[in-house]
Structure 1
């Protein structure tokens, strides 16, 4: 009777994934964000690999971490391996009898820009199931199970991305609020609304137009841009509008621009496509 002695075990796959992410991104915190775990979990995974290999992969410093020679040697083949796994997973999804299209996007883009366009996209996709996932940061399209992403970001010039709409900053408010604004200086008497992720919107716009806000300026901060838009429509203040996100409200007259003083941003509404995605998706979204 043949014996089946226990085989030696390699390091856990999750530990290898944690090391690869931390090494590629140069940060335990960034790796934790990408993998949706804690920085402490990343640290434990890496200690586990170092214990298994009997060598140090990272040098821990007060200002962060740095790869050792062994860590640098390990990074390239692991990155290639996980990229290949991701490619195989993407291919596997295309073999499903019910194809799906998973879109990752900023919550405000999903609510204010994408939602009005979903019906026509679904109609064009036919039998393909469409799902939308709200994320705060763009995913790694090679690693995450998404087919495309929509974010306000600086274009990179990649062949996998399409600029759908150039962003620009412009104060917007309800018509009732606009009626009492005769000049940009009158903004000092209003509550200025902004999203905390774009906390420098008002300083950027005012500086570009040679204006300044008084230290006593009444400000209202939001973690959801769509809520800030809703409050602006209700007349609670003046919002620094990102044009792709407020254009619908401007078209309907719910919001107006009291001053024709737009400032072109360095950001744009960028569509990033993964593999096996309909190449006409950009035209469907902008039709």
Structure 2
């Protein structure tokens, strides 16, 4: 009587994901952040995988980890496989919920640029449900459940607006600012994520003062304080333009400094005409 050979046991998918993420990012901690687990969990998963294989995939060093020859040789294939799995899953989600669109963007863009446009989007496309996730860095759209990314980026995609920076303040504060040197005598508001805004603009203005003032972890909070007259903020034009148009903010100096990268919208795959994500993208880029 024929006997079927035993089916080889495959390594756990979670362990393979931990290996691929740690190998691609070069760090167990970065892999843990990406996968939403602890660094200890990543370490345990990779140790278990190495035990199953009977060979090491990483060399542990005081300052981090490095792929062994075996790990480096096989990493690309696993990256391609997980990217393909992520795209297939994204297609499955899109087919299951064809009228739902998920957008990932910076907190400042979500609050100051995207949110004011949502009423018009809902009016033009009432059949589409739009969800927004605010995050500090673009996700890997091949792996994440998001349809669109909206960030200041030099990558691929459609440019929404160029970024230009310049000081802005409430009209009540403007009379105290006759030249850039006067910034030494007023609070200069800073967003911690864009802490180089002031040095870049002041260098372009040939001013050597050191700006002093409160630091905020959210640009929207810093902007609200500028609106309240609490100080001067470096404005990013796509985010402050409505307040300049309304007169709630003014730009006391003529110098406007173009900076990169621009505000850009992109997707992980071509968006078919008529698809909900394509309709939202076309409206955000002014093509519909």
Q: Identify whether the pair has TM-score above 0.5, normalized to the shorter chain.
A: yes
Bigger mean CA deviation after superposition, 103-112 or 40-49: 40-49
Give how far 1:77 is off. 2.1
Q: CA deviation at 1:68?
A: 0.8
Q: Mean alpha-carbon deviation: is it higher for 180-189 or for 272-281? A: 272-281
Number of residue pairs matched by the alignment: 279
Structure 1 residues 135-214: aligned runs within 5 Å: 135-153=135-153, 155-156=154-155, 158=156, 161-214=157-210
Cα deviation for residue 21 of structure 1 reads: 1.1
CA contact (8 A) 1:169 1:265 kept: yes
- Quick check: 1:254 aligned with 2:248? yes
- More displaced 10-residue stretch of structure 1: 6-15 or 201-210: 6-15
Measure how far apart 1:231 and its partner are.
Answer: 0.2
Aligned runs of 1:17-166 on 2, under 5 Å?
17-96=17-96, 99-153=99-153, 155-156=154-155, 158=156, 161-166=157-162
Q: Contact 2:84–2:142 at 8 Å: present in 1 too?
A: no
Is 1:244 equivalent to 2:201 in the alignment? no
Alignment match, 2:274: none
In the superposition, relative to structure 1, how do residues 282 and 95 fare at CA in structure 2: closer, same or farther (>3 Å)? closer
* 2:279 is the counterpart of 1:285: no
Work out the CA distance in 1 between the residues paired with 2:100 and 2:84.
Answer: 21
Following the alignment from structure 2 to structure 1, what is the Cα–Cα distance between the partners of residues 117 and 73?
Answer: 47
Task: Deviation per CA, 1:146-200: give whole Å up to 9, x if none.
Answer: 00011123x12x2xx1111111110001000112111111000011111101111
In structure 1, runs of 5+ residues without a counterpart are none
- The one-character-per-residue Cα deviations of 1:196-245 (angstroms, maximum 9, x if unpaired) are 0111111111112211124xx43211001000000000000000111111
2: distance between equivalents of 1:33 and 1:243? Answer: 32
Q: Does residue 1:226 correspond to 2:220, yes or no? A: yes
- Return the TM-score normalized by structure 2: 0.89
CA distance in 2, matches of 1:34, 1:93: 20
**Secondary structure in structure 1 of the residue aligned to 2:240:** helix
**What secondary structure is seen at the aligned counterpart in 2 of 1:267?**
strand
* 2-structure distance, mates of 1:40, 1:256: 51
Shift of 1:286: 4.1
User: 1:269 aligned to 2:263?
Assistant: yes
How far apart in 1 are the matches of 2:63 and 2:281? Answer: 42
Query: 1:8 Cα shift?
Result: 5.9
Shift of 1:43: 2.1
